[in-house]
Amino acid sequence: MRTLGRTGIRVSPSCLGTMMFGQAGNPDPHDCAGIVHLALDAGINIVDTADVYGPRGVSEEIVGRALRGRRDERAAATGQGEGGGAR
């Protein structure tokens, strides 16, 4: 584990990327949740997602549901797609 900047949050050196959750890769939300659970059980405690992963934020929705009940021990990193706000 390592500390994330000056936050005091301890994160794993590896991160699960979820760009392929949804129609662009794996459209089965239960299968994707299983991938998240396998990563968590393996000690990965940071998950990368974004509103542009899958149409209309489907990756974020899948990750949110998969983390239900385990959020206190995990971190999620999310981004914003192009043109989505002030720069």
Average pLDDT over residues 59-67: 90
- Which residues does the annotation mark as catalytic? 53
Look at the chain and report how many structural domains it folds into: 1
CA separation for the pair 18, 60 (Å, rounded): 8
Digit-coded pLDDT (tens) for 28-61: 999 999 999 999 999 999 899 888 887 788 998 9
Digit-coded pLDDT (tens) for 8-29: 888 999 999 999 999 889 999 9
Domain containing 21 equals 2-79
Q: What is the dihedral of CA 23, 28, 33, 35, to 10 degrees?
A: -80
Residue 85: inside a domain: no
70's tokens = 């385990």
**Taking all residues of the chain, what is their mean pLDDT, rounded to a whole number?**
84
Residue 86: inside a domain: no
Residue 18: inside a domain: yes
